Amino acid sequence: MNKIKIPLQTIITFLGVNVLEVKGPVDDVFVDNIADVAHTIESTLDWVNPVKKNKQQMAENSMAKVILVDKDVVYSDLLKKFGKTLIYVENPKAAFSLVGNAFFVQIEAPGIHPTAVIDPDTQIGENVFIGAFAVIGKAIIGDGCRISSFVRIYDNVIVGTNCYFKEGAVIGGPGFGFEKDENGNRFRFPQIGRVIIGNEVEVGANTCVDRGALSDTIIEDYVKIDNLCHIAHNVHLGKNVIITCSTAVGGSCVIGDNVWIGPNSTIRDQRKVGKNAFLGMGSVVMKDVPEGEVWAGNPARSIS
């Protein structure tokens, strides 16, 4: 797919201070893609996972000419003989990701598709992509955001920079709150709060983030939410929270920084999950979860 030949020197320059050392040829060496181990060929970039035991062997067996490694890999006679180049970095996977994202991942170019329906009072930053059939109300959208097709962003949603909304995400819809009338029939409790989203946040496809009822729903920087999740009204997600697919977070939950929530989990409304906690897949969380604990099960219990 991506057959642009990138000079190795360009990649080294791009990685900058991340590069500790380079051993082997650089001039006239090119990289034309990234690949997994089964599909690595001479021209694809490879990397050796630092946690593996047989790192030296992995580097020597790689089909790739250019390999990102940590300091434990030796530039052996074998590597030298085959004309390989080792790029030494602290974190080969991170360096591999950076190069891949910069040179071989195609993302949407900034621009607003003519079919998108956008309120004239919306504030849209620089370098924003808005896809076909997106519908955006009186919101504030920061620089570098990517808003995919069929995304709905309501009035009073404030989004920081470099956020990414996948298809069908609904941000700021009225939450699920009702009151009963004198006949026992339900009618809506007012939902007039906002949604405040930080920087570098991702919201997955068909995921819903409801507006606050009377105050706000808040999502801090670097939160990543996978597809098909429900984030109810007044939830507060701390920095770097990961919410994997098909998860439901109940109203007014407070989820601390760096919490990891496994697929298809459910958190009861108004629960607090302390920072750095880990909730296993399928967790049904009825109680507050203390900081740093590992919980799982239905109902979820500590398994730390």
Q: What residues between 5 and 34 interact with a second copy by CB under 8 A? A: 33-34
Residue selected from 50, 110, 263, 292 as contacting a second copy according to rule CB under 8 A: 263
Contact call for residue 192 and a second copy (CB under 8 A): yes
* Residue 57 CB, nearest approach to a second copy (Å): 21
How many CA atoms are closer than 13 Å to the CA of 203, on its beta-carbon side? 32
Between residues 124 and 170, which has the closer beta carbon with respect to a second copy? 170
Contact call for residue 250 and a second copy (CB under 8 A): yes
Site for a second copy in 196-225 (CB under 8 A): 200, 204-206, 208, 210, 213-215, 221-222, 224
Between residues 242 and 289, which has the closer beta carbon with respect to a second copy? 242
Contact call for residue 274 and a second copy (CB under 8 A): no
Contact 224, 201 (CB under 8 A): yes
Residue from 222, 218, 300 nearest 258 by CA: 222
Contact call for residue 304 and a second copy (CB under 8 A): no
Paired sense of beta strands 301-302 and 294-296, if any = antiparallel
* 3 state SS of 303: coil
The 148-187 site mask, x for binding a second copy (CB under 8 A), equals xxx-x--xx---------xxx-x--x--x-xxxxx-xxxx
Token pair for 5: 């030949």
Cα 299 to Cα 16, 160, 280, distances in angstroms: 49, 36, 12
Question: What is the chain's Cα-based Rg?
Answer: 23
Between residues 84 and 166, which has the closer beta carbon with respect to a second copy? 166
Contact call for residue 189 and a second copy (CB under 8 A): yes
* Residue 139 CB, nearest approach to a second copy (Å): 12
Cα 170 to Cα 57, 108, 175, 211, 236, distances in angstroms: 48, 20, 11, 10, 17
Residue 233 appears among annotated catalytic residues? yes
Between residues 73 and 171, which has the closer beta carbon with respect to a second copy? 171
* Residue 27 CB, nearest approach to a second copy (Å): 26
* Residue 28 CB, nearest approach to a second copy (Å): 25
Between residues 22 and 228, which has the closer beta carbon with respect to a second copy? 228
Contact call for residue 131 and a second copy (CB under 8 A): yes
DSSP state of 5: P
Residue identified by tokens 């021209």 is: 43
Name the active-site residue from 39, 113, 230, 233.
233
- Determine the Cα angle at 86 with ends 80 and 92, to 5°: 155
Contact call for residue 1 and a second copy (CB under 8 A): yes
Token pair for 214: 């009377």
Q: Distance between CA atoms of 276 and 159, rounded to whole angstroms?
A: 24
Residue identified by tokens 């699920």 is: 176
> How far is Cα of residue 95 from the mean position of the Cα atoms in its chain?
17
Site for a second copy in 66-105 (CB under 8 A): 90-91, 93-94, 96-98, 100-101, 104-105
Contact 48, 116 (CB under 8 A): no
Contact call for residue 52 and a second copy (CB under 8 A): no
- How many residues of this chain interact with a second copy, rule: CB under 8 A? 90
Contact call for residue 143 and a second copy (CB under 8 A): no
Instruction: Please give the positions annotated as active site.
Output: 233
